[in-house]
Amino acid sequence: MRMSGRGLRASGVALGVIALLSACSSGGSTHRPAATDSARVTTEAPPPVGSIEHPRPVACVEAVRSPGASATGVTTGNSPAKSTATTTNMPTTSSSSSSSSSSPAAPATAKNDVTVGPLTWTGLRALTDGDQSGHGYHNSDGWHYKVAASIRTGATVTLTIGAEQRAKAGLEYGRAFGSTPAPAITFDACPTRPTVFIGGFFVAGDGHACVPVDVQVGQGAPQRVVISFFNGQCPAA
């Protein structure tokens, strides 16, 4: 039996409608809604400890319990608040007590201390020149300088290496992290007593550099100091 052209067309339309209804009822439609924004969100890893965004914590429990001389020969007296060498810029010339290149390392006296707010670096001025090996040690990476940091009772101080020298210099405080240099650390002094932390600075290569360090007390504005590591006169901050 032959169907007319009109009958064939009507039959085709009917079959198409049936197929479309079947696809819709079975979820077979090829059109999918766009993925929601929440499905596309990826969890970002937090910044590493010791980074600029997450300074390495150096807590009261890491402090030296008793004042005196450390194994590195740095005197760690426990009265930093009255140091006679308060500064907001590292000295641009050597102190009068710094040794000459042929003399032994200068002793860590108050004249060689550098104080910024509640922070005192013991004997730091003596690292401007003189006997480099008397203040640290050298390995294949560079030089590691021992400098005790004293913090007044209850203070919080964050140190950050300036961007100009982050590729070369770092901070080596925080016993839980060994001697791994970090670009930023935060000291939390003990709440009942001044606190002395043993550690120091790392300077790559020959260990000679003018290193800018931003010192921030609590949430205050940072103060910049420029530290000369056996590099003679450094420009002021």
Q: What is the pLDDT of residues 136-162, one digit of tens each?
A: 999 989 999 999 999 999 999 999 999
pLDDT of 21 higher than 60: no
CA distance 171 to 211: 11
Look at 178 and 41; give whichever has higher pLDDT: 178
Residue 117's contacts (CB-CB under 8 Å, 6 or more residues apart) are 155, 157, 215, 217, 223
Q: Which pTM does this prediction carry? A: 0.65
Least confident of 35-44, 55-64, 114-123, 142-151: 35-44
pLDDT in tens, 64-117: 864 443 433 333 333 333 333 333 334 333 332 233 333 334 444 588 999 999
The DSSP symbol for 27 reads T
What pLDDT does 20 receive? 42
Q: Which residues of 191-221 are buried (b: 16+ CB within 10 A; e: fewer)?
A: eeebbbbbbbbbbeeebebbbbbbbbbeeee
